[in-house]
Structure formats: C-alpha cells, structure tokens
Amino acid sequence: MNPSNPLILQGDGKVLLETRHPDFDRARDFLARFAELESSPDLLHTYKISSLSLWNAASAGMTLSEIVDGLRGLSKFDIPADVRQSIEDTVGRFGLVRLERHPTEPAQWLSVEFANRYIEKVVRRTDTGAQLVEPDGKRGWKVAAGMRGIFKQRMLLENWPVADNAGFLDGDPLSLHLRPTTLGGKAFQPRHYQQEAVDRWFMGGAPQGGHGVIVLPCGAGKTIVALEAMVRAQTHTLVLCNNQSAVTQWIREILDKTTLTEAQVGEYTGQNKVIKPVTVATYQVLTWRRSRDADYEHMHLFRDHNWGLLVYDEVHLLPAPVFGATAELQGCRRLGLTATLVREDGREGDVFSLVGPKRYDLPWQLLEKQGFVAEAKCFEIRVPLSRRARIAYENASEMEKFRLASENPKKIDVVRDLVSRHADDNILVIGTYLGQLDEVSRDLGAPLITGKTPQAERDDLFLRFRKGQLKRLVVSKVANFAIDLPDANVAIQISGSFGSRQEEAQRLGRILRPKERDAYFYTVVTADTKEQQFAVKRQLFLTEQGYRYHIEDRAAK
C-alpha cells in the first residue's frame, strides 16, 4: 500500500488516475495497453478493464505478471481480490482454444486444440462447439476451413478467444521491393517503428503471424507499414479503403515507393473496375447494391482472385457487410490499419476475431516527442447562444437541440477571429452541416469541398492546397479520412457527429504531419448545450493519448 501512488483500483474493476500526479504519463501509457479510457475530467481519469482489452494485451505478448505487478507498483492500495481473480481468469482464457494447421487435409480442415481435457469438454458443450467442432480421429478435433472466421467470431461471444495458429495460403506470388529512392527523387527508408510494427505483425512468417491490427497516429505513415507488409508477403494484395481520394493516394504511394508498375496496380471503384496483382478498392463499391433486398454486386472481388494479403485501411470503419466476407477469407493474411480501434457500433470484437488482434500500438505523443508528427495544441472554444436562440433551443426536441447548438450562428465570428489569428498558416475548417459550411465558405472566400464535389475538382483543390496556392479550405466529413494534406497546420472544427471519438482523432490527424510549425486544433462548441456534453465524449480518445484541451469561454466575455 502506497497512498502517494497515482492509481486507485476499485472493486468494480475501474481504475482512477490522478492527472496531476508526477507519474501520470507513465501510468497513462501503462493503462492504455490493457484498459479503455471511459471519462477524462480535469483532475481524475477513469479507465475500464474489459475482457477485450485484456485479450488484446495478451495477444500482443503482455503477461499476467506485467499487468498485476504494474498495477501494484502504481496503485495506492492493494488490488481487490475479486478484481485480481477476474484479470487472471480473463487473461488466462486467451489461447486455451487454438486453431492449428491440419496435418493431412489443410485445405478442408483446421485442427482444434484445447489446453486440457476440461477445457475441451466445456467448449464442446457450448452452442458453437456443438455445431462446428467435429471429431478427428480417436482423440482429435477439427473445424471446417470455411468456418474458420465464424468459429472465432462465435467463440469470442462465448468468452473463449481463439489463438489462430493455422497459418495462411500463399496466394499468387508477386515480386516487389521498396525503392531506396522514390520516383520523386527523395531518399526513402521505412522508419524504425514502421519496421517494428511489421515485424510484430508478420512474426517472420510464422503461423501465429500474418494477421492483426496496427494502431498508429494519423501522419505516422500507416501506408508505409502496409507497403513493407506487402514486401514481406510477396503476394497479390487487395487494399480496401474509405473513399476515392484515398484510393488515388494509395496508388500514388505504391508506385512512388515500390518497384511495382502501373501495369501491376489496379483501381476498383465506382469509376474504374480493374483487377490487377495489387488492387485498391473502396468499401463503398463492395457494399453497393441496387436495393435493400438485392445482393452486394461486387463482393465477388474477394473470391474471384487468389489474394494472399488483404489490407483494411481505417479498419475501425470496416462496414458490417464486409465482416461477412472477412469471415470467409480467413485463409488470406490480413492487416488492419487505424489510428483508433474505437468503433462507434461496438464491433471491436469482430475486428479482433476476423481481422486479428492488436499487434502494435504507439502513443501519439511519443511520436510527437521524437519529431515524427507535429506537436499539437488543442483548444475548445465555447460560444453562447443568443437569447432568441436559447429560447428556441429550450423548446426543441432532444434531437433538434444538438443541431441547433451545432449550427449556432455566433460560431462564424469565432471562425473569422481564428482565421485572422492564423493569417500565415494553412487552415482547414471542418464541419458536418452543409448549410453552415456554405456560409463559412462564403464568409472566408474559401473553396468548399463536400460529398457532392466532383472527384476531379476535389483532387485539384487538394493539390493546390498542398502546393500552397490555397491557404484555406472548408471541408465536410469527406475530409475525415485518408486525405493527404501535409502542410495543413490549423484545423477549426465547427460541428461534428455527436460523441464520435474516432472522428475527433481523424480530424486532428489532418494536421499532424511533421512540419516546422506547431499544429493547432480548435473545436468550437455552443456552451451549456448538448453539443458541449458530446464534445467531452469526443475528446476521450485524444485525452488518453496525452492531449489536453485548453478551454476558452467566449460565453463569459
């Protein structure tokens, strides 16, 4: 017992962390490996230790003794006995059920192995075990290779996380290497953490490797991680990403930094449908169908080619229909890339079981300290409602209140002030509501990019911004993901999607590319409204990463 320590571990498994303690940074980084941040008021942060967070930690190699000894070393009081027992039981479950390569018929079957006879009996009595696990010889067990993903997905719901050591099919071979010099004439070599991330994912080609998720901040070069993974795998690869702009960027990076040629890299989108040894597609084209009752017409892309590697960019956005295809394609190596594993639909467990466990996670501020991403300063500016708007707000429905607060006309004045404050900087104004964005665009005399903006016009505006010909852009949610604007260093967020933590992280990521100037991230919210309440939830992920929001209260002026 040491009352001077920064943590309090409660009997319900929640962990309280003092933010002003000298060991705050060390304790925060430790907790982030196996717990989830729930709330982050100024003085005391609350973490939740969940089964999934513990299984991710265990799959990444974190041991029970590391967790228990670390908690003991940082806690004010002893770990409650029930909590310790729960941690032991949860961590100990990972790997008690394993999938291994079948010794005689690997194309048709996978061997199912259990830690002991007791586990075997318990698992066999579950609904999943009874339906999918079949006898294999006198004492062995097997599951159909085609049910590999479904088996893991269902076993996770039964609280039996499966260690998948069955290995992968090679896919069609493809020879490629990274260029020491890019086509643009710049010296190129993956950074040390990018290589380390791929090492942990690939595991030297061992059956335990080749599937899983790598978590890196926006601007840290997740695309380079994927290129290195492709070089390790040396196989035909399907890359899935969020939009047409991302497809263009992926193809540009592949051609610029690898020995692949235009004849080997294809685009499968709403505009072009060309399958080549490396094909980059959008989630949208895969999930397109003519009507609700119709089939997904392009899901055949997964099955019509002998892919050896699937890359899921922004894996936290993986659409639900693609989970089904992912369950079928467990014979392929799989790499998920994201800045945050938070899914607003709560399907992190499906990512764990179908794409793979978290293999690598690097805190944003560590990269910031090493100079790989820009230092970011985060501000929340609270703006009052006018007396008339306040009356309308109080009389509105719960759903209407959020939009009324989000579209507060007084935000326009704040945006104008911030743009004036950063007259020499490269500024993105980001929002959700098109009428509000159109007004800001006219007020600033800046171009507006929305989902309706033709792709050619978007690409031209983004190019002009990258070249410095434009200093300001107003963008809708289309800029949340995979937009490469390395010179942007100021983001002004005037409206968002309720309490979306992933959106907050992605929008900050637009300005974190390394640069000589600091990055500034402003969130403008209406004071004492639903929007302010949701802003607290949105900021959770960045708070966990070590960022602090400076509050500027315009309502008090």
Model confidence over 402-451: pLDDT tens digits? Answer: 899 999 999 999 999 999 999 988 898 988 889 999 999 999 999 999 88
Looking at 361-397, list the stretches that DSSP marks H as alpha helix, in order from N- to C-terminal side: 364-369, 387-394
CA dist., res. 179 & res. 186, Å (int) = 10
CA dist., res. 298 & res. 302, Å (int) = 8
What pLDDT, in 10s, does the model give residues 41-70? 667 888 899 999 999 899 888 999 999 999
What pLDDT, in 10s, does the model give residues 85-126? 999 999 999 999 999 999 999 889 999 999 999 999 999 999
Q: What pLDDT is attached to residue 137?
A: 83
**Cβ count near 273 (within 10 Å):** 14
What pLDDT, in 10s, does the model give residues 225-284? 999 999 999 999 999 998 888 899 899 999 999 999 999 999 999 888 999 999 999 998
Q: What pLDDT is attached to residue 500?
A: 56
Q: For the residues 137-158, what does the mean pLDDT come to?
A: 91
Residue 10 has pLDDT above 90, yes or no: yes
For the domain covering 192-362, report its CATH number. 3.40.50.300
3-state SS assignment for residue 349:
helix
By DSSP bridging, strand 358-361 and strand 519-526 are unpaired
Contacts of 449-452 with CB under 8 Å at 24 or more apart are 449/473, 449/474, 449/475, 449/476, 449/478, 449/479, 450/475, 450/476, 450/478, 451/476, 451/477, 451/478
Q: What pLDDT is attached to residue 227?
A: 98
CA dist., res. 122 & res. 553, Å (int) = 58
What pLDDT, in 10s, does the model give residues 187-237? 999 999 999 999 999 999 988 899 999 988 777 889 999 999 999 999 999
For the domain covering 371-556, report its CATH number. 3.40.50.300
Task: Render 502-554 in DSSP notation, one character per residue.
Answer: HHHHHHHHTT-S--SSPEEEEEEEETTSHHHHHHHHHTHHHHHTT--EEEEEG
Q: What pLDDT is attached to residue 499?
A: 46
CA nearest neighbour of 176 among 276, 314, 243: 276
CA dist., res. 70 & res. 52, Å (int) = 19
Task: Render 391-440 in DSSP notation, one character per residue.
Answer: HHHHTS-HHHHHHHHHT-TTHHHHHHHHHHHTTTS-EEEE-S-HHHHHHH
Q: For the residues 282-306, what does the mean pLDDT come to?
A: 86
Q: Do 278 and 209 contact (CB within 8 A), yes or no?
A: no
Query: Where do the domains of the chain lie?
Result: 7-93, 97-165, 192-362, 371-556
- ∠ Cα 409 481 423 (to 5°): 50
Burial 401-414 (b: 16+ CB within 10 A, else e): bbebbbbbeebbeb
Percent of the chain, pLDDT > 90? 52
536 versus 427: which is more confidently predicted? 427
pLDDT band at 346 (very low <50, low <70, confident <90, very high): confident
**Cβ count near 507 (within 10 Å):** 26
3-state SS assignment for residue 156:
helix
Residue 344 has pLDDT above 90, yes or no: no
Residue 476 has pLDDT above 80, yes or no: yes
- Mean pLDDT of all residues belonging to the chain: 87
Name the amino acid, one letter, at 313. Answer: D
Residue 538 has pLDDT above 90, yes or no: no
Residue 502 has pLDDT above 70, yes or no: no
Measured on CA atoms in the order 39, 40, 46, 52, is the torsion positive or negative? positive
CA nearest neighbour of 308 among 173, 437, 162: 173
Q: What pLDDT is attached to residue 508?
A: 63
- For the chain, the straight-line distance linking the first and the last C-alpha, in angstroms and rounded, comes to 47
Minimum mean pLDDT range among 390-399, 413-422, 473-482, 525-534? 473-482
CA 325 to chain centre: 20
Give the chain's length. 557
Would 192-362 and 371-556 be classified into the same CATH topology?
yes
